[in-house]
Structure 1
Amino acid sequence: MIKRKEGCLMKKILYGSMTGLALFLVAGCTSKTPTAVSSTNEQKETVISTTETSSSVQQEATTTSEKTSAVAVSLEKVTTAFEKKYPEAKITSLQLDTDFGRYFYEIEGVDQQKEYQVEVNAETGEFTKEKVETLDADEQNGVKMQEEALDLTNIISREQATTLAEKEAKVGQAADWKLEKELGITYWEVKVKEGQQKIEVKIDAHSGKILTTERDD
């Protein structure tokens, strides 16, 4: 009888120990759940913060002339914002234009499969228009990117291009700026206006050399 009681007692102790261990494991698993949720929340906040930074470009004042005083967003800022928004794309064309006194950037870019066209408010940095299209089959896989991607390293500034164009035109003020690429050369196309007269000056964006000058009287 004593041996049977001892056996029962040992079973109770063993059962109690296993029950305690199970409760400990359950408690341990439960305590990890809030940590995982917290980590997920932190990741969401980081994504939101990055999106907000890339969507709103920081403003930078320019003092080139009264006509371009509304251009608060620099070329460097707007290209950086585009590259953050489309990290796989390369810029193929960039234009600063005006519409009823409102300056805006028009940017085109491509990646391996798609073409992007956006419009950015030059005063606030807001992306106001966006268009995405699939490239033609013969333009995909880097073909158009290789042919048309601008080389924006160490280019002369818009202000420098303005000075060169106005000097070449001899009259008028620069009113429209465009960066493009042709025959492997990235160049500034600056339109200088004087009344009804328009002078289009193309300038090598790296050397500052005048490439062509066309007058439209």
Structure 2
Amino acid sequence: MYKKLATVGVAVLLVGALSACSFNDDKDTSSSNSSKETTSSKSNNDKSSSDSLQNKSFDMSYEDAVKAFKDKHSDAEISSVELEKNLGKYIYKVEGISNDNEYEMKFNAETKEELADETDKLDKEDTGGVEKENEKISLDGIKSPKEAMDKAVSEQAGDVTSWKIERELDTTYYEVTVKQGNNKYEIKLNSKTLDVLQTEQDD
């Protein structure tokens, strides 16, 4: 009788121990899977930050900013267009040049508000259209800022913090700034073909 009871007791203990092991294994597996999902989710978020200009859209396009500039300074040619974040605001800066003056206007890209309008006299040697011919850019037939940002990030992964359209010699180009960690890269692209002209790490 006692032997039977002892045998039954041992059997019950073994079943209990096996159940406990099985429960812990399931718990560990569940915990491990949860950890993997969190890591995977974090990894995907790291690839594309919501702060990147690539992922932003604004009520004011750069064409709107250029038109607003030309409405104010019809005698001027556009010499550069830029979009960057400054003091928590996304700002278009449009620069232009006439025969005798250079101008700079700033607009809030999200509200279309005009923030600044400055005029400076050109130096005597630059008047008469000399500097205007050297600096004016043509925006006809160029790629969109979104296309330029996509191309820049395909060359150097990271978040786009600003872009600019400028001219050097006879080439109008995009300069896209990409930030990765603590490093900044400036990528210059032909504005019409998006061929990479230069990639430079900013110290």
Q: 1:66 aligns with which of 36, 45, 50?
A: 50
Native 8 Å contact 1:70 1:103 kept in 2: no
Shift of 1:71: 2.9
Unaligned runs of 5+ residues in structure 1 are 1-63
Equivalent-residue separation in structure 1 for 2:95 and 2:192 (angstroms): 20
Q: 1:118 aligns with which of 99, 102, 105?
A: 105
The SS at the match of 2:104 is strand
Equivalences for residues 13-24 of structure 1 within 5 A: none
TM-score (norm. length: structure 1): 0.67
Native 8 Å contact 2:60 2:109 kept in 1: yes
TM-aligned CA distance change 1:134 to 1:216, over 3 Å? closer
Percent of pairs identical after alignment?
A: 35
Shift of 1:157: 0.4
Shift of 1:181: 0.4
Native 8 Å contact 2:49 2:159 kept in 1: no
The SS at the match of 2:112 is coil
Q: 1:78 aligns with which of 57, 65, 88?
A: 65
Native 8 Å contact 1:161 1:188 kept in 2: yes
**Higher-RCO chain (CA-CA 8 Å, sequence separation at least 6):** 2
| Aligned Cα root-mean-square deviation (Å) | 1.7
Native 8 Å contact 2:102 2:120 kept in 1: yes
Please name the residue that 1:7 is paired with: none
TM-score (norm. length: structure 2): 0.71
Equivalent-residue separation in structure 1 for 2:75 and 2:171 (angstroms): 22
Equivalent-residue separation in structure 2 for 1:137 and 1:203 (angstroms): 33
Equivalent-residue separation in structure 1 for 2:98 and 2:170 (angstroms): 18
The SS at the match of 2:70 is helix
Q: 1:141 aligns with which of 125, 128, 144?
A: 128
Shift of 1:107: 1.4
**Quick one: which amino acid aligns to residue 161 of structure 1?**
A
Matched, 1:215 2:201: yes
Please name the residue that 2:82 is paired with: 95
Aligned structure 1 segments of 4 or more residues deviating by more than 6 angstroms:
none
Equivalences for residues 45-64 of structure 1 within 5 A: none
Deviations 1:51-101 (A, max 9, x none): xxxxxxxxxxxxx98334363211111111111111110111111111133
Native 8 Å contact 1:117 1:132 kept in 2: yes
